[in-house]
A and B are shown apart, each in its own frame.
Chain A
Amino acid sequence: MSEATKSGLSRRSLLKGAAAGVAASAFPAPMIWAQNIKDVTLRQFGTGVSNINEVAQKVKEDLGFTLEMTALDSDAVTQRAATQPKSFDIADIEYWICKKVWPTGNLQGMDVSKIRNYDKIVGIFKDGKLTPDSTIAQGTSPNSVGFTDGPDGTKFADHETGWMTLIPTIYNADTLGIRPDLIGRPIDSWAELLNPEFKGKASLLDISAIGIMDAAMVCEAMGEITYGNKGNMTRDEIDRTLAIMTEAKKAGQFRAFWKTFDESVNLMASGEVVIQSMWSPAITAVKSRGIPCVYQPLKEGYRAWGGGIGLSKNLSGLELDAAYEYINWYLDGWVGGFLMRQGYYSAVPETSKNYMTENEWGYWFEGKPATEVITNPYGDAMAQPGETRDGGSFEERMGHIACWNAVMDENQYMVRKWNEFIAA
């Protein structure tokens, strides 16, 4: 054990001792607890998407303790969660990252009996089904890595055990973005990405783990490849997928590949590209420049992603209590409303409703036409009256998931092949 660990433990045990002392005394515990908790600082890190400063500020206001946030890219997040468990208290990670990180034992299972809104969490994160008759999508679906056997479990359980690995916080359904004004006809299939009609005007994202999924959606839609599981391809499937993409690349199908959010926005806004893989906020960014851009629903379905909060195994005592309090607050609706007004979904949509206007709820969640101008939390106009959300309601969008972002068993092989594709 290193020096740092010892001091860390002693600090925590001190706090624990203080908490125990308080509990033993005659004072009503919650009040004192509220006093002590002001000294607590929780260190959260994760990808940029939900590491929002407004959340930390609101935590300070509502709960009284300090939340320090660090935003990193997903590779760095994975590495840190796997190798530096002492450097964080709360990990805000995606489910596919959880699949990589959980077996290291750096996170602790969470007792759902302490989660007040557990029953209201949408089914996708529990049994994998949005409605009782929906089928579970391919890839690393949240339910497949969402539960473990107990607080110290290092394996995933295939059913609801009462111990969650991550508490779901944010998720969405991704598809292709298009420029309707430059295409001029309906687009309804992933196969259109490789349609020669868009030669030199298509783009794909150059992040292997996600790009390969989009590529697989395209190849399957073209009828070229039938996958056993797009989220866990065999070497042969990887080879065949990238062979098709390489051929298209050599034929000049792609204008560029993008790696960052800004690049995707610029490619689309400048008209260099008319069809490409895209993320929801990027569509909004293009639209906010007055350029028509649609997050096109496709008949093969969406590629979904989801993130959640995991607790470091080093959390205990008062800090663990504070972390549970934070999670309960997270699911209580304010954050949900904040995220949903940017086009994401919250794990407990019904609590978020309390923090949204009827118009906002109707537009973002129910797929109804906006009755007034829709603005995001930062005040930018997102939609004009009469417009409806691309893809429609929550059920229509999340009910048509073809595949979840995933990490494959053949990940290393896939990454190498992907690099060859980019260099080809």
Chain B
Amino acid sequence: MTALSKNRRLFGSLLASLLAQLATGRTKNRHLMGWLLASPMALVLMVFLVLPIVMIVIVSFWGATEFSIYPAFQWDNYQFLLTSPVTYKVFLNTFKYAVLTWAFTLTIGFTVAYFLAFHVRSLTWQIALFLLCTIPFWTSNIIRMISWIPFLGRNGIANSTLMSMGVIDEPLEWLLYSDFSVILAFVHLYTLFMVVPIFNTMMRIDRSLIEAAYDSGATGWQTLTNVIIPLCKPGIMIGSIFVVTLVMGDFITVRFMSGSQSANVGRLISNDIGLLQYPSAAATAVILLITVLMVIGLLLRFVDIRKEL
């Protein structure tokens, strides 16, 4: 206890003298101040982000028996992963989910944000309606997802309503345990992640720009495509990054909504973990990480977020 407090006091006085030096300008190195200010965040990221990832990369080269893992340096996990046709099929499926979910959430999210930002005039109503959008987030992710199951089932509400309305004669089988239900759940879960950043950038658009566009004789559509969408790009990009990373990393939605019939990369990893094949799971995770980083890198090439913000 005392040693700790002594250390802390020592560190404190050291820091104080350092800051004093900086303040009096005896130290010319302005970078030092920057480094010091950045260090707490850097430390947190180092311990909670970089180290675990390094660990995963290391374990991905280890070997595994049926019960245990042992340190080694071997390419077996990657070799198996990259030569199996299943891997490619599953990655393709993951991309399919990501792209479709992205397209739907973008369309819906943009429309909702546009309505909130430009059609709702009073700030009170904007806030009220925006809060309304977040209400589903008051319950857990899993509950929101599972509640679709009785709704979409063979004897579920959707089918019985359609049948009583005479639209269909037989229950629609593809409503549940299909790609449709997986995408539906994803869109439902993640649209808000699109709405928030797009709404945010829309609110910061200078209204006089829109007036200027109208004054110059632009139609509503031209204003949208030439003024609003370009100015919303950072919001769209941030929302896209959210949605794409969430969908690509998911495993539970795919498992429940497809009735375990479809697989994505997350499920490959969770299966491996279930079977205690941690190195193989780690290798899959590394490949997934690289893939997601590549996707984000690609997205960032379209918009320089730092400049736009």
Contacts and interface: CB of A to CB of B under 8 A. Distances in A.
Given A249-B261, A256-B261, A259-B260, A79 B176 contact: no
A271 interface: yes
7 contacts: A82-B67, A100-B66, A256-B261, A272-B153, A411-B66, A422-B263, A424-B89
A324 interface: no
A10 interface: no
A270 to B, nearest CB: 5
Nearest to A208: B275
B155 A271 contact: yes
Given A79-B67, A257-B259, A423-B267, 16 more contacts: A73-B274, A75-B276, A78-B276, A83-B67, A83-B68, A208-B275, A257-B260, A258-B260, A267-B259, A270-B154, A271-B154, A412-B66, A415-B275, A422-B260, A422-B261, A422-B271
Contacts of B71: none
B68 A257 contact: no
Closest 8 CB pairs of A and B: A256-B259, A423-B263, A257-B260, A82-B67, A420-B86, A256-B177, A206-B260, A79-B67
B156 to A, nearest CB: 8
A272 B176 contact: yes
Interface string B255-284: 100111111000110010011100000000
A419 B154 contact: no
A416 B274 CA distance: 13
A335 B24 CA distance: 80
B220 interface: no
A392 interface: no
A254 interface: yes
B52 interface: no
Interface string A243-277: 00000010000111111000000110011100000
Contact of B68 (A82, A271, A420): A82
Contacts, number: 78
Interface in B117-176: 149-150, 153-156, 173, 176
A369 interface: no
A79 B176 CA distance: 36
Interface string A58-95: 00000000000000010100110011000000000000
B68 A423 contact: no
Interface of B: 66-68, 84, 86, 89-90, 93, 149-150, 153-156, 173, 176-177, 255, 258-263, 267-268, 271, 274-276
A423 B260 CA distance: 9
A419 B86 contact: yes
A200 interface: yes
Contacts of B149: 266
A254 B261 contact: yes
B83 to A, nearest CB: 12
A45 to B, nearest CB: 15
Contacts of A412: 66
Contacts of B66: 78, 82, 100, 411-412
Interface in A395-424: 411-412, 415-416, 419-420, 422-424
Contacts of B89: 423-424
Contacts of A79: 67-68, 276
Contacts of A249: 261
A37 B255 CA distance: 48
Contact of A75 (B150, B156, B267, B274): B274
B67 A419 contact: no
Contacts of B86: 419-420, 423-424
B67 A272 contact: no
Contact of A256 (B67, B156, B260, B276): B260
For B156, B176, B260, the residue with the greatest tally of chain A CB atoms inside 10 Å of its CB is B260
Nearest to B80: A416
Contacts of B258: 256
Contacts of B67: 78-79, 82-83, 100, 104
Contacts of A208: 275
Nearest to B146: A266
B275 A75 contact: yes
A417 to B, nearest CB: 10
A257 B275 contact: no
Nearest to B64: A412
Interface string A97-124: 0001000100000000000000000000
Nearest to B154: A272
Contacts of A254: 259, 261
Given A82-B67, A415-B275, A257 B261 contact: yes
B26 to A, nearest CB: 51
